Amino acid sequence: DGPRGVEEVKSSPSSTPRGPSTYNLFVKAESTKVKAQLEKLSSTGKLEKGAVMKELGARWKTMTSAQKAKYAK
């Protein structure tokens, strides 16, 4: 039993788990490169918490559908 008012969601035994989203594949492929780029630009060489994900999200928003398709399975 969980907290009051919260129902546990159970998946069907016949359902198959989904693969990672296109965005998640993009993050996995690009995060190391983006981190290195941001560290070079930083005056201290250290990054703020969440800086890499913030930059990846900004880049994702500016990408075209054709560019995003590169990361789709």
pTM of the complete model beyond 0.75: no
pLDDT at 17: 84
Structure tokens at 31: 């995060």
37 closest CA partner among 23, 22, 58, 61: 58
- Contact criterion met (CB below 8 Å) for 71 and 30: no
Condensed to tens digits (0 to 9), the pLDDT of residues 22-57 reads: 999 999 999 999 999 998 888 887 788 899 999 999
28 in helix, strand or coil?
helix
Q: Mean pLDDT in the chain?
A: 86
* pLDDT(72) > 60: yes
68 closest CA partner among 18, 21, 20, 22: 22
